[in-house]
Amino acid sequence: MLSDHIEITGARENNLKDVTVRIPKRQITVFTGVSGSGKSSLVFDTIAAEAQRQLNETFTAFARNFLPSYGQPDVDSIDNLSAAIIVDQKRLGGSSRSTVGTITDINPLIRLLFSRVGQPYVGYSNAFSFNDPQGMCPECEGLGRVTTLDLDKLLDRSKSLNEGAVLHPDFAVGGWYLSTYLMSGWFDGDKPLRDYTDEEMSVLLHGTGKVPVEWQGGKINTTYEGLVDKFTRLYIKKDIGAMSERNKASLLRFVTAGTCPLCQGGRLSPAALAASVGGFHITDLLAMEASELLATLRELAGTVPPAGGPIVANLIDRVQNLVTIGLGYIRLDRETTSLSGGESQRIKMVRHLSSSLIDMMYVFDEPSIGLHAHDVRRLNELLVKLRDKGNTVLVVEHDRDVIAVADHVVDMGPKAGAHGGQVVFTGSFAELTEAPTLTGRFMKHALPLKQEARTPTGALTIRDASRNNLKNVTVDIPTGVLTVVTGVAGSGKSTLINEVFLGTFPDAIEIDQSAVGASIRSNPATYTGLMDDIRRLFAKANGVNAGLFSFNSKGACTNCQGLGVLYTDLGFMEGFKSPCDVCRGRRFSEEVLGYQLRGKSIADVLELTAAEAAEFFTEKKLRTILSAVNDVGLDYLRLGQPLSTLSGGECQRIKLATELHKTGTVYVMDEPTTGLHMSDIQHLLEIIDRLVNQGNSVVVIEHNLDVIKNADWIVDLGPEGGTAGGEVLFTGPPADLLKADTYTAEAVRHDLAV
């Protein structure tokens, strides 16, 4: 029997307390609640994970080998699930060959258009693909850039080969590569390169041949390959965009990179570049911002030969979706690796909007990220469009305007961590505004505008900034206050602050939401520096070495090497993780667990929450650190919880906790309200206030109106995104913004009138 609801019974992932909840199908359900209340645990770790797992089960064991593995979530049952499509903020990876146009499937349509009605007639649509040998520029193989080896950077000509004349680390003295040169017998290893004859230099750089090399006691016949050819083959022919940061950095020291001289960055063959439709070359279209492309396509619609009509109509539909979702400022030839998390999520959304699959379950993680209040309305239209096609839409969100579009709201709480994990309200948005929950209360009325703005103590000046879309911007960033930089998506905020400001004032400290430590061995205690003192206390109390009380030492459980869990790899089947049966997840050896401090073992201490630890420890230094952790609202965090399991907002706050004692520092934060509930935002603002009151300066990029209203100084960019933006429209305190004529001013006025 078909049911109208997804039925979840007894969900217990992470902090969930046996949650039982029904979610209406083919409607929009928004999940709300403070950061750490359990929204992701329910939506992503339980519902979406189970949908993915069940889908994977339908594949053969062989095929499953190639799919990500999903463990069985801790839940009694979930019924009536649909296949899930997760639209999250993970950056779109890929190589330099992946662009906004390729990933949205707009490029294939443009190619089709050129192959049908391009002048002169040029052939199949492959001939317009820079990822196809038929269409790619032969010089740069479709990358648009050429990288050339710079011998002046690679060689130190004052040195001999034996002295390390070749500077790339892979050609170090004693290594295999250099040995093939030295043992060829063709060079004097002690002669500085500047004394080489032309002939010797030519052999070193371009020679070929067979040479015997003595290596580790044996003789090997190997192929000699000149330095330039070897270097080109090993590094330059590789896609720089796909290299690790480290390899990229070491390569970039020895090359010059520039636009390809043949295609001028257009990536395509000369024939493809010469073709045109309605007077436009393919590169003209790909270099336009989406909103300009849309206008151009509308003109073309009336003029192209009939064979092109349906293709242009289809293109208009897709590009319109890009514009609607607030990406009108983005160019199709933009490489996806340079997109922000919010932009990546919206691009993924565009891909799905053109899909004709129905009865799917779409799961969004804070889709309002990176969007100005002005653009949120359009985002809502797209969520509604997905629903009206017959899909179930689940959204984790904090933005009031997005919550308002919900057919159904599931509010989690009452608080975070162990104090959360329950459904505290379900119902319509109207009912939520009357609910006695934290979310309900914040929905009711807008917070007031700051009236008494602080006076700046000075200013840091950005001069003549013209990076990306910035139009020769000169602007003062005041010190000793909270400055909020705002403006619609694509107006230039990140360029101004993250690139220009941080590039000009490198002492400024950036506090973002990125992970604070990838290692499973790091946790709040190690990150904040608590662990060193805790180890010392245990050592002193028991008369043993402090090193024993570390997961990485010989005090660690030898069965699991201090991980507390064992990973079992089953090869052709899904692998799994189980608690270590020797230490039972406690991570230390039996001997170490025997040592106590005031009745607790080291494992017991790591199980304490920050709040409990603040009562347990009387030592001044520990209490100072713990009170900072509690002050940033992380009192519920356990000292031993792996940092890899912290949410973005939790990572940001633990970073802030370690900064609270500083003074005279400039902090930069990019959309710090991401993942934060309105009550968390109040808390964040209190922490920022404290930093500023202690004599620090804080610069925040934000769209959130509560943060904007709380600024001492506002820098508003615009008027639009992309080339239509990049100007400073307003600077001053919030009370003056009210009189300005910008999207931000309009949004604040609207908010205060509610």
Q: Which residues bind to Zn ion, rule: CB under 5 A?
A: 137, 139-140, 260, 262-263, 557, 559-560, 580, 582-583
Instruction: Please state, in angstroms and rounded to a whole number, the distance separating the CA atoms of residues 234 and 236.
Output: 6
- Each residue 8-37 as x (binds ligand ADP by CB under 6 A) or -, in order, gives ------xx-----------------x-xxx
Number of H helices, E strands in the chain: 32, 25
The only residue of 416, 625, 707, 737 in contact with ligand ADP, by rule CB under 6 A:
416
How many chain residues are in contact with ligand ADP, going by CB under 6 A?
Answer: 34
Residue 641 sits in the site that holds ligand ADP (CB under 6 A): yes
Residue 703 sits in the site that holds ligand ADP (CB under 6 A): no
Instruction: Please state, in angstroms and rounded to a whole number, the distance separating the CA atoms of residues 531 and 704.
Output: 36
Check residue 268 and report its DSSP letter. B
Structure-token pair, residue 423: 């459904």
Which residue, 186 or 505, has its beta carbon nearer to ligand ADP? 505
Question: Who's near 616: CB < 8 A, 6+ residues apart?
Answer: 598, 600, 605, 608
Question: Who's near 261: CB < 8 A, 6+ residues apart?
Answer: 139, 146
Instruction: Please list every residue from 341 through 400 that binds ligand ADP, using CB under 6 A.
Output: none
Please give the backbone phi and psi of residue 63, each rounded to the nearest 5 degrees, phi first: -65, -35
Minimum CB separation of residue 365 from ligand ADP in Å reads: 9
Which residue, 491 or 528, has its beta carbon nearer to ligand ADP? 491
- Measured at the CA of 751, the angle between CA 750 and CA 754, to 5 degrees, comes to 90
Check residue 424 and report its DSSP letter. E
Minimum CB separation of residue 30 from ligand ADP in Å reads: 13
**The CA-based dihedral angle spanning residues 289, 290, 294, 300, taken in that order and rounded to the nearest 10 degrees:** 60
Structure-token pair, residue 160: 């001999």
Task: Find the part of the chain contacting ligand ADP (CB under 6 A) among 104-112, 329-337, 501-509, 566-574.
Answer: 329-337
Judge contact between 262 and 138, C-beta under 8 A: yes
SS3 61: helix
Q: Taking the alpha carbons of 497, 501, 506, 508 in that order, is the dihedral positive or negative?
A: negative
Residue 679 sits in the site that holds ligand ADP (CB under 6 A): no
Residue 337 sits in the site that holds ligand ADP (CB under 6 A): no
Residue 263 partner contact from ligand ADP, Zn ion, none using kind-dependent CB cut-offs of 5 to 8 Å: Zn ion
Task: Find the part of the chain contacting ligand ADP (CB under 6 A) among 141-149, 224-232, 313-321, 638-646.
Answer: 638-646
Structure-token pair, residue 468: 């990306």
Residue 396: which of 139, 599, 676, 108 has the closest Cα?
Answer: 676
The only residue of 334, 348, 398, 521 in contact with ligand ADP, by rule CB under 6 A:
334
Residue 422 sits in the site that holds ligand ADP (CB under 6 A): no
Task: Find the part of the chain contacting ligand ADP (CB under 6 A) among 21-29, 327-335, 354-362, 451-459.
Answer: 327-335
Minimum CB separation of residue 284 from ligand ADP in Å reads: 17
Residue 338 partner contact from ligand ADP, Zn ion, none using kind-dependent CB cut-offs of 5 to 8 Å: ligand ADP
Residue 557 partner contact from Zn ion, ligand ADP, none using kind-dependent CB cut-offs of 5 to 8 Å: Zn ion
Which residue, 416 or 583, has its beta carbon nearer to ligand ADP? 416
Contacts 24+ apart (CB under 8 A), 343-347: 343/370, 343/489, 344/89, 344/90, 344/91, 344/92, 345/87, 345/88, 345/89, 345/369, 346/370, 346/379, 347/92, 347/100, 347/103, 347/104, 347/322
- Each residue 474-493 as x (binds ligand ADP by CB under 6 A) or -, in order, gives -------------x-xxxxx
Residue 580 partner contact from Zn ion, ligand ADP, none using kind-dependent CB cut-offs of 5 to 8 Å: Zn ion
Residue 338 sits in the site that holds ligand ADP (CB under 6 A): yes
Residue 33 partner contact from Zn ion, ligand ADP, none using kind-dependent CB cut-offs of 5 to 8 Å: ligand ADP
Minimum CB separation of residue 528 from ligand ADP in Å reads: 15
Distances, alpha carbon 503 to alpha carbons 461, 479, 499, in Å: 12, 17, 6
Check residue 455 and report its DSSP letter. P
Which residue, 160 or 673, has its beta carbon nearer to ligand ADP? 673
Task: Find the part of the chain contacting ligand ADP (CB under 6 A) among 60-68, 104-112, 412-420, 688-696.
Answer: 412-420
The residue ranges that bind ligand ADP (CB under 6 A) are: 14-15, 33, 35-41, 329-330, 334, 338, 412, 416-417, 468-469, 487, 489-495, 641, 645-647, 650, 721-722
